[in-house]
Chains A and B, each alone.
Chain A
């Protein structure tokens, strides 16, 4: 089954403790992206990747890192998490980044930073 898989689905952690949220897709998609969703602010793009070793900032990249060493994986790294990064995170992928390529989303990761 074609899917985007995120792990963990839920995480409660403390300020400053490095964490990684993994994202994997099995559709051989070139384009991958991370969004965060906060009440009243909608979904905002954090980082995106057009292909292996090609990443770029989205609208809210501060405090996050990403890497794209393999086509299928696009982990989101919080080096020193802070409470303002408490949010619902979604990974998405598409065949390409062009307007005619639908993005497919994972089920989300709910992070709570205490």
Chain B
């Protein structure tokens, strides 16, 4: 699976949009971009994923550049409860020894402050 690069930490004011970047310059055409977050030591929480097109759900939006080498997770109105470690993961479509595996990096620590 392609490697990802994220800033180690970011701050955001409560009520503002949080934009978390991720670089995945070696991504292949059949690899999805996933975002998870982990609050304290709770189980990682699925946020959103996409292949080529931008995606939006009730939690967030995912913007993927046209060349697919980078993406941005957008939390439109951050709250204090969004303080967490956010992981950007590139995941192969299927097959091989990576079947189903999620490879978590160090992620971005997002701190939302009042």
Genuine A/B complex: yes
Distance between Cα atoms of A43 and B102 in the complex (Å): 8
Is A94 a contact partner of B106 (Cβ separation < 8 A)?
no
Interface of B is mostly: loop
29 A-B residue pairs with Cβ-Cβ distance under 8 Å, sorted by A, are A4-B43, A31-B100, A33-B100, A33-B101, A35-B102, A43-B104, A48-B99, A48-B100, A48-B101, A58-B101, A59-B101, A92-B102, A94-B100, A96-B100, A97-B94, A98-B93, A99-B30, A99-B31, A99-B92, A99-B94, A100-B32, A101-B100, A102-B34, A103-B102, A104-B46, A105-B44, A105-B46, A106-B43, A107-B42
For the side of the interface on A, what is the size category? 20 to 34
Q: Answer whether residue A82 sits at the interface, using C-beta atoms and an 8 A cutoff.
A: no
- Whether A45 sits at the interface, judged by CB under 8 Å, is yes
Instruction: Give the B interface residue count (CB, 8 A).
Output: 23
In the complex, A102→B35 CA distance in Å? 10
Q: Is the interface of A mostly helix, strand, loop or mixed?
A: strand
B-side residues, CB < 8 A to A, are 30-32, 34, 41-46, 49, 51, 91-94, 99-102, 104-106
A102–B41 CB distance below 8 A: no
